[in-house]
């Protein structure tokens, strides 16, 4: 049964959450992110590390998908993928990206804009070997984003690889590895009553400092 237009137009949620003050946030946006990320984990949010990654093709067509954050530190935010996937190809031609975290239960979003680059082979190898063997095989056999005739072929390749590497270490495929998003802008959005949401934005001032501003909701 379809949802009628009026019902959809009237869908809204009143946000009753704590305030986000420009004076009280950490001077370092990565530390502020860490604080919010821990609170998301403590709140029991399912996969708090899921994030929307937006990329743009060379002809300026945007695309977005959900990926999983696998690390954050002073230099930026890391995730892993197939280099030959649609997003991998887009990032190789246009390294400007955006990522968004949405923690609905806390009425919070974090928006990040920056540039992306590949992690070192050593970092990618280390993470790949920490993954469950089933996930390693999946990365090995899946031609991500490419057209396949049917799923049975993929499942056959997976089973063959499982047998081939039953008692062996699976080497990281050359087409798979990590990415680092180096932020230039980080926005923390806190839902507030009457749509007077709090928006605190960090803008990269130089290599070691950030300018903090408040935006109107």
Per DSSP, 27 falls in state S
C-alpha to C-alpha distance for 124 and 24, rounded to whole angstroms: 36
> Catalytic: 156?
no
Say if residues 34 and 188 touch (Cβ distance below 8 Å). no
Greatest CA span in the chain, whole angstroms? 60
**What length does the chain have?**
217
Active-site annotation holder among 75, 126, 164, 195: 195
Q: Token pair 């993954």 is at which residue?
A: 131
Residue 42's CB: how many other CB atoms inside 10 A? 9
Kindly list the distances between the CA atom of residue 75 and the CA atoms of 112, 126, 184, in Å, as whole numbers in the listed order: 13, 18, 11
Buried b (16+ CB within 10 A) or exposed e, 95-131: bebbbbbebeebbbbbbbbbebebbeeebbeebbeee
Report which of 67, 142, 139, 53 is spatially closest to residue 96, judged by C-alpha positions.
53
Q: Give the residue numbers annotated as catalytic, written as ranges.
A: 195
């Amino acid at each position: 049964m379809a949802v009628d237009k009026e019902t959809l137009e009237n869908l809204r949620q009143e946000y009753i959450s704590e305030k986000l003050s420009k004076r009280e946030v950490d001077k370092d946006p990565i530390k502020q992110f860490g604080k919010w990320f821990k609170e998301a984990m403590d709140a029991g949010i399912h996969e708090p590390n899921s994030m929307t990654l937006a990329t743009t093709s060379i002809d300026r067509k945007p695309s977005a998908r959900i990926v999983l954050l696998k690390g954050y530190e002073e230099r930026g935010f890391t995730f892993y993928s197939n280099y030959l996937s649609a997003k991998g190809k887009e990032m190789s031609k246009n390294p400007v990206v955006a990522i968004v975290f949405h923690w609905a239960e806390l009425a919070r979003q974090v928006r990040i804009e920056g540039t992306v680059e590949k992690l070192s082979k050593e970092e990618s190898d280390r993470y790949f070997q920490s993954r469950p063997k089933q996930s390693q095989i999946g990365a090995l056999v899946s031609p991500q984003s490419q057209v396949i005739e049917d799923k049975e072929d993929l499942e056959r390749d997976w089973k063959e690889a499982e047998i081939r590497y039953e008692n062996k270490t699976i080497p990281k495929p050359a087409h798979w590895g990590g990415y680092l998003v180096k932020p230039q802008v980080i926005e923390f959005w806190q839902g507030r009553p009457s749509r007077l949401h709090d928006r605190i934005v960090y803008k990269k001032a130089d290599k070691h400092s950030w300018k903090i501003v408040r935006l109107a909701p």
